[in-house]
Amino acid sequence: METLNQHIEHTLLSPVAVSDDYERLVQEAIQHRFVGVCVPPYWVKKARRDIGVHDIRLVTVVGFPLGYNRTEAKVRETEIALADGAQEIDMVMNLGAFKTGVMSWVKGEIAQLAKMCHESHAMLKVIIETCYLSDEEIVRACKIAQDAGADFVKTSTGFGSGGATEHAVRLMRETVGEYMGVKASGGIRTKGQALAMIAAGADRIGSSAGAALL
């Protein structure tokens, strides 16, 4: 697939990555014309400067990696990230609230962040962490994110007990239809895996092995 690079968000979320690592990440994204880079909140300002005029989306994470922060904390994280130049926010859904059945909290939190992102001409992706969900729960989580106004649903943080699977991606795509994005992330390290995720319905591939995927 000649356009595989335009599905890849080149990702670096290691807690011990340093400035040089992020410079390399951005340079590789420029070289390979990846659709975006995904970096931790601390590194958003630097990545924005390093990207410069290049057409590369700047993605960061909120409530990462466990999602059980209070909504107020996620809101503040999002405010800062958008002010620093992030164009896409990947938020972690509150799994504890979801599994408890407090769907109004889950939906309200997503809706609040979606509104903030859209007012800043940014996009919101919701990480539902599929490794902890049954098929029924995956469907329910996708519908909540869609109803709340999110732009994408995303499989995984990469820090859970498992990453993206073709089955989960296919189920997510079937649930949200063609008008919402699906991002596969977590454990995708080969071109074959990436192409399989795209065939299953993924629009974006989040991977720390972006160059290797090509």
CATH numbers and ranges of domains, the chain: 57-203 (3.20.20.70)
Cβ neighbours, 10 Å, residue 121: 8
Is residue 32 within 8 A of residue 210, CB to CB? The reply is yes
The two tokens of residue 124 are 């919101």
- For residue 2, the model assigns a pLDDT of 60
- pTM for this entry: 0.97
Cβ atoms of residues 186 and 162 within 8 Å: yes
Tokens of 168: 């989960």
In whole angstroms, what is the distance from residue 193 CA to residue 27 CA?
Answer: 24
Which tens digits make up the pLDDT trace of 121-131? 999 999 999 99
Helix or strand (DSSP H, E) at 150: none
Work out the mean pLDDT of the chain and round it to a whole number.
Answer: 97
Residues serving a catalytic function are 90, 154, 183
Distance, in Å, from the CA atom of 113 to the CA atom of 130, rounded to the nearest integer, reads 21
Q: Give the helix/strand (H/E) hosting 124.
A: strand 123-127
pLDDT over 90 at 213, yes or no: no
pLDDT at residue 15, as a whole number? 96
What's the average model confidence in pLDDT over 78-105? 98
Residue 186: predicted pLDDT: 96
Residue 207 contacts residue 194 (beta carbons within 8 Å): yes
Summarised one tens digit per residue, pLDDT across range 134-187 is 999 999 999 999 999 999 999 999 999 999 999 999 999 999 999 999 999 999
Q: Are 62 and 74 in contact (CB under 8 A)?
A: yes
